[in-house]
């Protein structure tokens, strides 16, 4: 099955880099596999994310479809809604965070920093012609058990990665969601000057 053509999917008001203009969270993936080198490159991009006190609290669990035993383990963690489409992705990842500082005590920025690393992973995916779809819909308790996680490592997200596929391969309801126009809050709701609700920019 073919990859779908890259295009500027996002109707931005202001110019942004193609990495961001082309990124989206697909449910339809091509059946083309993803090389180990590409996976390494995405993890390397994640590794170089900024983090509070350079703690680097992120931990990733990764399996390509070819790594079938591990892939099945990760796929078994998806909830029913995501399982419908995400188990067809050629790469699955679980993103987890070390919740304690190395020196002890709760790291309030652990989830934030896992998010930064995940954003870099996703950016590198797009740079390689791939797409990556983050998901909260998975069974964290099962993940703790299957991945043998210590108490202070919290599984927070999964990511389905692959080359974007033709939406017509999806069940009807998911195809409609895949083709629906993409939306964002207006600028005057997300960017303020030095006072809440004092818009910094308008669309």
Ligand X SMILES: Cc1cc2nc3c(=O)[nH]c(=O)nc-3n(C[C@H](O)[C@H](O)[C@H](O)COP(=O)(O)O)c2cc1C
* DSSP state at residue 8: -
Q: Which residues contact 150 (CB under 8 A, 6 or more apart)?
A: none
Q: Which distant-in-sequence residues (6+ apart) come within 8 Å of 64 by Cβ?
A: 33, 34, 36, 39, 71, 90, 91
Q: Are 179 and 172 in contact (CB under 8 A)?
A: no
What are residue 155's DSSP bridge partners?
96
Minimum CB distance to ligand X smaller for 56 or for 82: 82
Distance CA 97, CA 60 (A): 9
Of the candidate spans 64-72, 100-108, 128-136, 195-203, the one that interacts with ligand X by CB under 6 A turns out to be 128-136
Smallest distance, Å, CB 174 to ligand X? 9
Answer for which of 136, 176, 198, 201 binds ligand X (CB under 6 A) is 136
Nearer to ligand X, 56 or 157 (CB): 157
Residue 53 DSSP symbol: G
The structure tokens 């790291």 sit at: 107
Handedness of CA 11, 119, 140, 30 (dihedral sign): positive
Contacts of ligand X in 13-52 (CB under 6 A): 24-25
- Both tokens of 27, joined, read 């449910």
Which of residues 16 and 136 has its CB atom nearest to ligand X in the complex?
136
101 binds ligand X (CB under 6 A): no
Among 57, 123, 134, 155, binds ligand X (CB under 6 A): 134
CB of 46 to ligand X, least distance (A): 14
Contact between 157 and ligand X per CB under 6 A? yes
Nearer to ligand X, 36 or 179 (CB): 179
Q: Which two structure tokens, joined as six digits, stand for 185?
A: 């809050």
Total binding residues for ligand X by CB under 6 A? 9
**Shortest Å distance, C-beta 154 to ligand X:** 13
CB nearer ligand X, residue 69 or residue 172: 172
Binding positions for ligand X, rule: CB under 6 A: 24-25, 82, 134-137, 157, 182
């Amino acid at each position: 099955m073919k990859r779908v053509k890259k295009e500027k999917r996002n109707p931005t008001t202001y110019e942004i880099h193609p990495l961001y203009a082309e990124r989206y969270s697909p449910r339809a993936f091509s059946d083309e596999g993803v090389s180990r080198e590409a996976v390494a490159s995405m993890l390397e991009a994640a590794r170089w994310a900024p983090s509070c006190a350079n703690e680097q609290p992120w931990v990733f669990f990764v399996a390509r479809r070819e790594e079938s035993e591990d892939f099945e383990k990760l796929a078994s963690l998806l909830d029913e809604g995501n399982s419908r489409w995400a188990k067809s992705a050629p790469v699955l990842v679980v993103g987890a965070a070390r919740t304690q500082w190395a020196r002890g005590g709760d790291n309030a920025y652990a989830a934030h920093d896992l998010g930064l690393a995940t954003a870099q992973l996703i950016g590198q995916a797009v740079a390689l012609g791939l797409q990556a779809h983050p998901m909260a819909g998975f069974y964290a308790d099962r993940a703790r058990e299957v991945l043998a996680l210590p108490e202070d490592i919290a599984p927070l997200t999964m990511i389905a990665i692959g080359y974007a596929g033709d939406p017509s391969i999806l069940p009807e309801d998911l195809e409609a969601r895949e083709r629906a126009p993409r939306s964002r809050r207006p600028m005057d709701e997300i960017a303020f000057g030095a006072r809440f609700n004092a818009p910094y920019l308008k669309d």
